Structure 1
Amino acid sequence: MKKLFLAIALMMSVLSSQAQTKSVPNQTEESDEDKSLAKDYFSQIMGVAMSATSNVKLFQFVYDWVGTPYRLGGDTKRGIDCSGFAYQLYTKVFNTAIGNNSRNIFSTVNPVSKTDLKEGDLVFFKIHSRAITHVGVYIGNGKFAHASTSKGVMISYLADPYWTRYYYKGGRLLADAPQNN
């Protein structure tokens, strides 16, 4: 219910600001005011303080997918797994192709310490295994988005005891990663 209220409030604010700027011909780019409203909205619903350099597209993508059920091997809103979610996010938000499973994805990153993680970095976990078994995308303030087997796409804290226990490494995509054109 709270999510619905916030979504309605944001839509009303955006529509109101668009109505005030309708008299400007050929306005095709999102205004600074609209970007600021979006950043305020995502900061509130995701509990992440967004800076002037924050990627609104990243937060919009995560917001759109939250609640999508988990499905091993899935890559659609009908069901998705952790690597499918990371793959879709990188394709749609960063126009970059990454691997199709958490271990393949890890092979395409430079390791990053937990304290140096930035929005869009990948976080890897070894859950009940010696091999990497889970991947998520860091969104800031110690939080990451991922597809959980129990709750589907969600936002979690790295500092949560469960995730702390299984955390392996953070990673930033290598500069020579393939771009989708």
Structure 2
Amino acid sequence: MASILIISLIGILGFKDTGIFIKDYMAKAGDDTEISFKSEESVNILGERDRDYIIEKDYEKYYVPKDLILKTQLNPSIFKVKKSNTYLMDMPNGRKIKDLNIGEQLKLESREGGWGLFITTDNIKGYMLFENLEEEKVITIGISQVDKTLKGANNTFYVLLKGEPVMIKDFSKGNFIIIDEDGKEFKAHRDYISLRNSRHTTSRSGGITSRTSKINAIISNAHKALGKPYKRGATGPNAYDCSGLTYSLYLNHAGVKLNRSSKEQVKNGMGVEKSELVPGDIVLFRTSGKSIGHAGLYIGDGNMIHASSGKNRVMVTPIDQDWYKKRYVTARRIIK
């Protein structure tokens, strides 16, 4: 009877996708039977409605909020050609019907041993050996809930901006594995990103906004400047003064030309409250009297990267360090 039930469910709804829980969850079936799902548990997704996924476990159907499950595989599966000199055939070991290029996408229709029946993006059906292909992993586009800079491998950085889309590749040990446009990976705590209104793709193209992309480039290259010497009037790449650093970062990595001096950079962009700072904002300080005489780049978590004349180098400093806290004047947001 149980097998008939699950076959019936599949027949009505069809296995669409697979997913993974990002938190523990207690669900109820239609007869009020309760069952617990553990974080990182994989499930079959039969369908969806409004804010819920319809999933199956032990021959029962459950409704689970979408923000608790990360899709990990789409059905039908999408594959990408990985070898040159490959082509579709009219049958396994049959006649060639279409040449294929490396990177070309194919949608799987059915499997026959080591062969698959695929359909191309221009709707041509044919057979191909799986050994010539690699499966395209689903990318979930979630929404950041925080403003935060993440550090990845090899001194790489990614900026989460509240309300901006984020590309999610996987989930492990309480963290989303997110990627940038180049495929570099970063870990983000599950509370940092919402899946409530997520969408899905197999391409990194268009997965993040121009704003996020530019600020990522600015923050990453600011870190690369750490340790470079301070030199009055310098705008890099071998040395900087304070406003020369912010000037060069925005010009070279966002195509935005700021005013050259810290005193004049207060006229760029829009003013923001100190409590509303996000990575990429320019923070400005007075050095003597009431005049602005120092600029830094806010990188998140209360820190800035700046070219310090006192320490004679580009460095990271908390903006609430005593000397700077007393002299903080304002901040400017350049990219909105």
Q: CA RMSD in A?
A: 3.1
Q: Does 1:129 align with 2:129?
A: no
Contact in 2 for aligned 1:108/1:174 (Cα 8 Å): no
In 2, the alpha carbon distance for the partners of 1:146 and 1:39 equals 19
More helix by share: 1
**Distance in 2 (alpha carbons) for counterparts of 1:109 and 1:129:** 24
How many Å apart are 1:50 and its aligned residue?
A: 4.5
**Counterpart of 2:235 in structure 1: which amino acid?**
D
Contact 1:67 1:151 in 2 (8 A): no
Corresponding residue to 1:41 among 152, 158, 172 = 152
Q: 1:63 to 1:174 in 2, by over 3 A?
A: closer
Question: Which residue does 1:161 correspond to in 2?
Answer: 322
| Alpha carbons 2:223, 2:305 under 8 Å: kept | no
Residue 230 of structure 2 corresponds to residue 119 of structure 1: no
- CA radius of gyration, larger in: 2
Gaps of 5+ in 2: 1-81, 84-101, 105-138, 140-148, 161-165, 167-207
Over 3 Å counting, the alpha-carbon distance change for 1:49 and 1:63 in structure 2 is closer
Structure 1 residue 58 displacement after superposition:
2.3
Deviation at 1:162, TM superposition (A): 1.2
Q: Give the CA deviation at 1:49.
A: 8.5
Distance of 2:151 and 2:297 partners within structure 1: 20
- Distance between the aligned counterparts of 2:243 and 2:269, measured in 1? 14
Q: CA deviation at 1:78?
A: 2.8
**TM-score (normalised: structure 2):** 0.38
Write out aligned runs for 1:76-95 (5 A). 76-95=236-255
Equivalent of 1:63 in 223, 246, 262: 223
For these two proteins, the number of residue pairs brought into alignment is 144
- Deviation per CA, 1:88-129, whole angstroms, max 9, x where unpaired? 111122210000101111112322110101111110000122
Using the TM superposition, give the Cα deviation of residue 152 of structure 1 relative to its aligned residue in structure 2, in angstroms. Answer: 1.3
Deviation for aligned residue 1:174:
7.7
Aligned residues: percent identity?
Answer: 23
Aligned to 2:131: none
Measure the CA separation in 1 of the matches of 2:307 and 2:151. 25
Alignment correspondent of 1:3: none
8 A contact 1:69–1:77 mirrored in 2 = no
Amino acid in structure 2 at the alignment position of 1:58: I
Unaligned segments of structure 1, at least 5 residues: 1-22, 33-37, 176-181
Q: C-alpha separation between the residues in 1 aligned to 2:326 and 2:229?
A: 24
Distance 1:114 1:77, change over 3 A: same
Q: List structure 1 segments (4+ residues) > 6 angstroms apart after TM superposition.
A: none
Please tell me the residue identity of whatever aligns with 2:322: P
Tell me how far 1:131 sits from its aligned partner: 0.6
Q: Which residue of 1 aligns with 2:29?
A: none
Tell me, yes or no, if structure 1 residue 73 matches structure 2 residue 233. Answer: yes
Q: 1:97 to 1:49 in 2, by over 3 A?
A: closer
- Superposed CA deviations along residues 47-66 of structure 1, whole A, max 9, x for unmatched, are x9843476432232012110
- Deviation per residue, 1:6-37 (Å, 9 max, x gap): xxxxxxxxxxxxxxxxx47469xxxx8xxxxx
Is the CA contact (8 Å cut-off) linking 1:74 and 1:81 kept in structure 2? yes
CA shift in 2, pair 1:158/1:39, >3 Å: closer
